[in-house]
Structure 1
Amino acid sequence: MKDKVIIVEMLVEKIEQYAKTSLELYKLKAIDKGTDVFSSLISRVVIITIIALFFLLVTLGLCFYLGEVLGKVYYGFFAVAGIYAVVGIIMIIFRKRWLDDTLNDYIVRQIFKEKKR
């Protein structure tokens, strides 16, 4: 009888160790996926920032050029502001399809992609 109690105690201990190990494994996998998504998003933010700076400089050049063509510098700025207003309205209209869904799909793909080791 005492042997059965010892075996049951050992079995309970092994199950407890398995549960703790499984929980730790899930925590580590979640941290791994979280860091993958975070690092990927950070690299994209850096790239987007560089592209935004490029477009800022192109925009300033376009403003000054159009201002020269139109006769007054501020006319160029008004013209480019109008272009940005139209682009902004289009982005607001199609935000869900172009931005929200794309970002959600990207994050889900990052979470469920397999690592190449």
Structure 2
Amino acid sequence: MEPNATTNENLFEKAENYTRTSLELVKLRTVSASADVLSTITSKIAVGAVVAFFTLFLNIGISLWIGKELGEYYYGFFILALFYLIVAVVLHKFQHSLIKTPIGNMVITSILKETKTDLQTEKN
């Protein structure tokens, strides 16, 4: 009975080690995928901030130019405000197809890409 008990204990220890290792691997994959998604979003936010400043100053210049052409500077600001109101309404109407779906797909693709790479590495 002794050799059988020892074999069962070794088998139990190996199963326990495998479970711990698998759990640790899942944790590391989750952290890796989260870090990838977070870094992607952070870089897009940084680029977005620079583009926002560029757009702000461009809009001020366009508003002043339109206002100068129309005779009163505030006319240019009203015209651009109306333009952005129309853009906001269109974005609100199509927010799922223009914003939510592409961002969701980007996050899912990033996570699945990471998982697929890990699975291919495991097989090799």
Same fold (TM over 0.5): yes
Q: Find the aligned partners of 2:2 and 2:110 in 1 and give their Cα distance.
A: 53
Shift of 1:113: 1.4
Unaligned runs of 5+ residues in structure 1 are: none
Q: Find the aligned partners of 1:43 and 1:95 in 2 and give their Cα distance.
A: 22
Partner of 2:63: 63
Q: Find the aligned partners of 1:32 and 1:4 in 2 and give their Cα distance.
A: 41
* TM-score (structure 2 length as normaliser): 0.90
Partner of 2:120: none
Runs of 4+ in structure 1 off by over 4 angstroms are none
Shift of 1:6: 1.0
Partner of 2:108: 108
Q: Secondary structure at the match of 1:113?
A: helix
Q: Find the aligned partners of 1:23 and 1:47 in 2 and give their Cα distance.
A: 36
Counterpart code for 1:40: T
Q: Find the aligned partners of 2:65 and 2:48 in 1 and give their Cα distance.
A: 25
Partner of 2:32: 32
Unaligned runs of 5+ residues in structure 2 are: 118-124
* TM-score (structure 1 length as normaliser): 0.95
Shift of 1:70: 1.0
Q: Find the aligned partners of 1:102 and 1:29 in 2 and give their Cα distance.
A: 23
Q: Find the aligned partners of 1:14 and 1:111 in 2 and give their Cα distance.
A: 30
The count of aligned residue pairs is 116
Q: Secondary structure at the match of 1:76?
A: helix
Q: Provide, for residues 54-78 of structure 1, a one-character-per-residue CA deviation record: whole Å limited to 9, x for no partner.
A: 1111100011011101111111110
Q: Find the aligned partners of 1:113 and 1:16 in 2 and give their Cα distance.
A: 29
Shift of 1:2: 1.1
Q: Provide, for residues 9-67 of structure 1, a one-character-per-residue CA deviation record: whole Å limited to 9, x for no partner.
A: 11101100100000001100110111011001101111111111111111000110111
CA RMSD of aligned residues (A): 1.3
Identity %: 32
Give the structure, 1 or 2, with the largest relative contact order (CA under 8 Å, sep 6 or more): 2
